[in-house]
A and B are shown apart, each in its own frame.
Chain A
Amino acid sequence: MSRPIRILVAKAGLDGHDRGAKVVAAGLRDAGMEVIYTGLHQTPEQIAEAAVQEDVEVVGISSLAGAHMTLFTRVLELLKEAGAGHIMVVGGGIISEDDIVGLEKRGVAKLFGPGTELPVIVDWIVKAVDAQRAEAAKE
């Protein structure tokens, strides 16, 4: 049996809307992943540091208060600075199409818009991590 996927689920920014983050975290757990949940109101610095310490393969960030451009970009920068640029960053929340394109250009691996169903998220992460592990095994 392959080892479980380790993923950090973080609620970035000051708003407290954690329904989405928690439903996704519970869904990923039920899909057999080890989910590290950071709780609310996380700064990009806290998210990046937790991702490094926990040596996760994926960071999932939920943002609903419109600060996603600042927050996601900063997390990507900080991970790179820490030498952990290999960690995949995905996200979800109230993010417009324009911003999704912009963030994916900056290096966010995938953004899930409002109304995305859990199995879609699970499938995407499983496939992406499999690919990443296969890549790492080659090296």
Chain B
Amino acid sequence: MTYDLAEKLVNGDRLALAKAITLVENRAHGHEDILEECFRNRKPAVRIGLTGAPGSGKSTLVNAMIKLLRAEGKTIGVVAVDPTSPFTGGALLGDRVRITTSESDEGVFIRSMASRGAVGGIAEATDDVAVLFEASGKEYVLIETVGVGQAEVDVAASADTTVLVLTPEAGDSVQTLKAGLMEVADVFAINKSDRPGAERMALDIRSMLEMRASEKGWTPPIICMSAIRGEKVDELIDEIAKHREHLASCTSAADRERTYLVVKLKRAVERMLKNDLWRGPDGSALEKIADDIADGTTTPYAAARQILDRYRARSGQGE
């Protein structure tokens, strides 16, 4: 059944793609088979991460980019990630509202995802969704996240090119932007730049960039634009293309692919290991170990070593 799904997906079946995303998102039974099949059939897409504060206009920008890319005949997959409420486990995913593709356009596929906090691995999940999009023939994959937590930064950072979307309202706070967020940006987009403060903000960013040595020979461009009016969106897309050319000039495509695959491999191994580990008897014994740590019988470090030793022994026996 999972093979069928992968085959249909590769042949462009939208329903199959939607179902495969669900399986991957839930890490449900059979999802690894699908990923494997899709991985074999994928053609690497242009992966663009978009991140920024709530209200910065990311979805509007995605919408504007879709319009331009579609005009060139490109096919696009979008995954928009919004946070899950840590209290209720629910989420309100509203990014579709701003993305107004024509209703019969089969060249665009949009999927909303909740970060499902504690489950973790959202960066890996979106990355896997990108694989599914690639297998279904999408030439561009846009990954949109709210740049508020480390997980979201990771999501954006795993794309080829990361666009940080800012608004002039945040003008005074460029200094206080979340550490790590400035660093992931390959391109800065100052949206709603018709509002006062855009020029100043561009200057602020420019001087901050000058303070740090430009790594890898790439100085992130700063584009003052307006997503809602579609102004300078083409320029943004050009800069993204330039960034890709830059990547291509300093490393070979094969090397980049290799780096990307290693990250993927590591993530997959870590997740599988984790699942395996906690699915075993040590998962259920956790309460008991916690009690032991709490009453001082053991320490977290000793307990961790003990669990790992037992796991190795268990795996050894399995061989």
The answer to whether any beta carbons of A and B sit under 8 Å apart in the complex is yes
The size class of the interface chain A forms with chain B is 20 to 34
User: With A39-B97, A54-B111 known to touch, is A83 a contact of B92 (CB < 8 Å)?
Assistant: no
Q: Please tell me if A29 contacts chain B, counting CB pairs below 8 Å.
A: yes
Q: Are A53 and B109 interface neighbours, CB within 8 A?
A: yes
Give bound CA distance, A77 to B319, whole Å: 54
Give bound CA distance, A26 to B90, whole Å: 9
Residue of A at shortest CB range from B89?
A32
Q: Are A84 and B15 interface neighbours, CB within 8 A?
A: yes
Residue of A at shortest CB range from B94?
A37
Residue of A36, A52, A84 contacting most chain B CB atoms (<10 Å): A36
Residues of B contacting A37 in the complex (Cβ-Cβ under 8 angstroms): 92-94, 96-97
Q: What are the interface flags for A22-40 relative to B under an 8 Å C-beta threshold, 1 for contact and 0 otherwise?
A: 0001101111111111110
Residues of B contacting A55 in the complex (Cβ-Cβ under 8 angstroms): 18-19, 21-22
Q: Are A4 and B114 interface neighbours, CB within 8 A?
A: yes
Give bound CA distance, A83 to B13, whole Å: 11
Q: Are B97 and A45 interface neighbours, CB within 8 A?
A: no
Residues of A contacting B94 in the complex (Cβ-Cβ under 8 angstroms): 36-37, 39
- Among A3, A25, A32, A82, the residue within 8 A (CB) of B88 is A32
Residues of A contacting B21 in the complex (Cβ-Cβ under 8 angstroms): 55
Residue of B at shortest CB range from A38?
B96
Question: Which residues 63-111 of A have a CB within 8 angstroms of B?
Answer: 82-84
Q: Are B15 and A35 interface neighbours, CB within 8 A?
A: no
Q: Please tell me if B175 contacts chain A, counting CB pairs below 8 Å.
A: no
A57 → chain B closest CB, angstroms:
10
Question: Which residues 83-125 of B have a CB within 8 angstroms of A?
Answer: 84-85, 88-94, 96-98, 103-104, 109-112, 114, 116
Q: Please tell me if A129 contacts chain B, counting CB pairs below 8 Å.
A: no
- Among B14, B93, B97, the residue within 8 A (CB) of A35 is B93
Q: Are A53 and B114 interface neighbours, CB within 8 A?
A: no
Q: Are A43 and B103 interface neighbours, CB within 8 A?
A: yes
Q: Please tell me if A121 contacts chain B, counting CB pairs below 8 Å.
A: no
Q: Please tell me if A50 contacts chain B, counting CB pairs below 8 Å.
A: yes
Give bound CA distance, A87 to B22, whole Å: 14
- Among A4, A6, A25, A54, the residue within 8 A (CB) of B89 is A4
Q: Are B97 and A29 interface neighbours, CB within 8 A?
A: no
Residues of B contacting A50 in the complex (Cβ-Cβ under 8 angstroms): 96, 110
Q: Are B88 and A36 interface neighbours, CB within 8 A?
A: no
User: With A3-B26, A50-B96, A53-B109 known to touch, is A29 a contact of B15 (CB < 8 Å)?
Assistant: no
Residue of B at shortest CB range from A1?
B89
Give bound CA distance, A27 to B213, whole Å: 49
User: With A39-B96, A39-B97, A53-B109 known to touch, is A34 a contact of B91 (CB < 8 Å)?
Assistant: yes
- Among B14, B18, B91, the residue within 8 A (CB) of A29 is B91
Q: Are A45 and B103 interface neighbours, CB within 8 A?
A: yes
Give bound CA distance, A25 to B21, whole Å: 23
Q: What are the interface flags for B2-45 relative to A under an 8 Å C-beta threshold, 1 for contact and 0 otherwise?
A: 00000000000011001101100010000000000000000000
A113 → chain B closest CB, angstroms:
24
A42 → chain B closest CB, angstroms:
9
Residue of A at shortest CB range from B28?
A3
Residue of B at shortest CB range from A57?
B22
Give bound CA distance, A45 to B103, whole Å: 6
User: With A54-B112, A55-B18, A83-B15 known to touch, is A30 a contact of B88 (CB < 8 Å)?
Assistant: yes
User: With A26-B92, A82-B15, A84-B15 known to touch, is A46 a contact of B97 (CB < 8 Å)?
Assistant: no
Q: Are A53 and B103 interface neighbours, CB within 8 A?
A: no
Q: Are B90 and A31 interface neighbours, CB within 8 A?
A: yes
Give bound CA distance, A29 to B26, whole Å: 18
Q: Are B88 and A29 interface neighbours, CB within 8 A?
A: yes
Q: What are the interface flags for A97-137 relative to B under an 8 Å C-beta threshold, 1 for contact and 0 otherwise?
A: 00000000000000000000000000000000000000000
Q: Are B18 and A52 interface neighbours, CB within 8 A?
A: yes
Residues of A contacting B98 in the complex (Cβ-Cβ under 8 angstroms): 39
User: With A3-B26, A4-B114, A38-B97 known to touch, is A52 a contact of B14 (CB < 8 Å)?
Assistant: yes
Residues of A contacting B110 in the complex (Cβ-Cβ under 8 angstroms): 50, 53
Q: Are A25 and B92 interface neighbours, CB within 8 A?
A: yes
Could you list 9 further interchain pairs (A-B, Cβ under 8 angstroms) beyond the known A25-B92, A34-B93, A36-B96?
A3-B26, A29-B91, A32-B89, A34-B84, A35-B92, A46-B103, A52-B14, A53-B109, A82-B15
